[in-house]
Each structure stands twice: as C-alpha cells, then as structure tokens.
C-alpha cells in the first residue's frame, strides 16, 4: 500500500486537455452537438457520485451546474468550457490536502475479495467471517500485526471446537487446550477415553496443523495464562502470510473432516 496525492492526476489531465480546450474555445457560441450532450449527461452523474463519496462539496456544486447546462439544447461551448475550467480548479483545491492510498494488484485482491479460499470455512462457521475479512484487508493494507491478530482469533476458534469434541476444553478454553490435545496422543490407545479413541486418527492428522500455527508465531507471541501477548509487533509480510496460510489449511481441514454432528 502506497500513499498518493490525486491532485497530481487532476493537474495532469488539465494539462493534457488544454490543447483540445483551446480548440473548442474557438467555436465561440456554437452549440454543443447533441451526442456530446448525451454523453455528458450519462457520465456526469457517475462523477458526481464519486465526488460525493469523497466529500468534495464544491466540486459537486459545479458538476450540478454542468448537468443543468447540458440538459439545455442551446448550451454553448463557451459556457461548457467555463464550467469545465471551474471544475478543474475546484477539484485541484479540494484534493490538494487529501491523502489517498493505492493498492498494488496483488494487494487489491485481498481487499476486494477478502474471503477468497475461505468459503468452506465460512460456510461451516459463519461467525468466523468478520475476522477472516478483517485479516485479509489488514494484510492488503500492510497492517501485518492486525492481520495476524484477526486470523489467530479464527485459529483459536478452531482449537476450541476441537477441544470441545474431545472434552479437553478445561476451565480456560483456547490455546491452552493445545497442550491437552497433545497429551491425548501421548497416552497409550487403551488408556484413552472412548471419545478420544473414536477421534484419535483424525486428531493425529490435524494436530500437526495446529502445531504449525503455533510454530509460525511462537517467536513473536508469548502464550501466558491462556492469553496471547506480543513480544514483537514488527511482523514481515512473509510471517503474516505463513500464519494466515497455516490457519486456513487447518480450518479447511477441520471443516472438511471433523465430525459435523458434534461441532
């Protein structure tokens, strides 16, 4: 994500269109062709909408005057050019102090389609959608600590669901249950409870995914008393991507293979 000042583009447009404008000025009081008027009447309301979203009040006022002008059969190039010049000036003034941010194509995908590849997880657990979307959009904007924070809430949800099924939630459900899940597989099969025996094979398959999530953030986050505490908030995009990928893989596997009747 990079900042940019849109006034750069409005002035560039003004300069590139100056030659064409000078030609039209030479037409004096000639009426604008009907086709040009129709095109303007179609385009201007769309431009007005964008200005309204950005709060460009002065520019909107001028656009309204242009819309009113081109609705008249007798509007001339002189009138049109005068308002066009006024609009360019107002846009430049209103956009001069505004700061916008642009996303690269690879970043924009995370922002505009934040649930891509997460559809199966959201279908299984709709309540995860908010944090999935926030994680993707934070990742797109380069806010990697925030992206990790939200996706770890999704991961923790999955750990909690598994611990419920295997009856090891304890008094503090959450990441602390991961150690209790590990201890299930440490026991001989005959010493496991009936529910632990029933799901032993599946737990054996998904436990590495949960451990991979833990491994991906253990150097950055400390787990103390069932809470996540940041040791270092300087996350790289690679670390954030690894944590998001590990979490997505775990949750998709859970949505696919874990017994739905118990979750």
- Return the beta strands (E) in the chain as ranges: 2-4, 100-102, 221-224, 227-230
Confidence at residue 113, expressed as pLDDT on a 0 to 100 scale: 95
At a CB cut-off of 8 Å and minimum separation 6, what does 151 contact? 131, 132, 135, 243, 244, 247
**Angle, alpha carbons 91-97-102 (nearest 5°):** 85
Question: Could you count the other beta carbons within 10 Å of the beta carbon of residue 261?
Answer: 5
Q: Using 50, 70 and 90 to split pLDDT, how confident is the model at 16? A: very low
Pick the residue with more confidence: 261 or 123?
123
pTM of the predicted model over 0.75: no
pLDDT at 22 over 50: no
Mean predicted confidence (pLDDT) in 26-38: 80
Q: Is residue 207 a contact partner of residue 179, using CB atoms and an 8 Å limit?
A: no
**Nearest-angstrom CA–CA distance, 19 and 214:** 62
Confidence at residue 31, expressed as pLDDT on a 0 to 100 scale: 86
Tens digit of pLDDT for each residue in 111-126?
A: 999 999 999 999 999 9
Confidence at residue 15, expressed as pLDDT on a 0 to 100 scale: 44
Confidence at residue 230, expressed as pLDDT on a 0 to 100 scale: 58
**Nearest-angstrom CA–CA distance, 177 and 22:** 74
Confidence at residue 18, expressed as pLDDT on a 0 to 100 scale: 44
Q: Is residue 228 a contact partner of residue 221, using CB atoms and an 8 Å limit?
A: yes
Q: Where are the domains of the chain?
A: 2-100, 105-262
**Nearest-angstrom CA–CA distance, 148 and 220:** 11
Confidence at residue 28, expressed as pLDDT on a 0 to 100 scale: 60
Question: Could you count the other beta carbons within 10 Å of the beta carbon of residue 238?
Answer: 9
Tens digit of pLDDT for each residue in 165-223?
A: 888 887 777 777 888 888 998 999 899 899 889 888 888 888 888 887 777 665 565 55
Confidence at residue 19, expressed as pLDDT on a 0 to 100 scale: 41
Structure tokens at 62: 């001028």
**Mean pLDDT estimate for the chain:** 82
Confidence at residue 5, expressed as pLDDT on a 0 to 100 scale: 64
Mean predicted confidence (pLDDT) in 61-85: 90
């Amino acid at each position: 994500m990079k900042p940019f000042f849109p006034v750069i583009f409005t002035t560039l447009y003004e300069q590139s269109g100056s030659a064409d404008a000078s030609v039209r000025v030479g037409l004096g009081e000639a009426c604008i062709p009907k086709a040009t008027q129709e095109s303007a009447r179609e385009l201007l309301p769309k431009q007005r909408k964008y200005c309204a979203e950005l709060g460009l009040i002065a520019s909107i006022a001028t656009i309204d005057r242009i819309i009113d002008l081109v609705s008249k059969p007798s509007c001339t190039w002189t009138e049109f050019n005068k308002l066009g010049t006024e609009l360019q000036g107002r846009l430049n003034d209103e956009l001069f102090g505004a700061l916008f941010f642009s996303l690269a194509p690879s970043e924009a995908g995370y922002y505009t389609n934040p649930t891509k590849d997460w559809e199966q997880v959201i279908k299984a657990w709709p309540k995860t959608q908010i944090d999935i979307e926030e994680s993707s959009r934070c990742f797109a904007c380069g806010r990697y600590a925030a992206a990790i924070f939200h996706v770890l809430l999704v991961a923790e949800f999955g750990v909690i669901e598994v611990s419920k099924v295997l009856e090891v939630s304890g008094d503090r459900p959450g990441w602390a249950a991961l150690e209790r899940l590990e201890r299930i597989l440490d026991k001989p099969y005959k010493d496991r409870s009936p529910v632990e025996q029933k799901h032993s094979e599946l737990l054996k398959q998904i436990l590495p995914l949960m451990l991979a999530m833990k491994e991906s953030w253990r150097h950055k986050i400390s787990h103390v008393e069932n809470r996540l505490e940041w040791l270092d908030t300087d996350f790289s995009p690679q670390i954030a991507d690894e944590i998001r990928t590990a979490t997505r893989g775990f949750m998709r596997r859970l949505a696919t293979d874990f017994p739905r009747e118990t979750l």
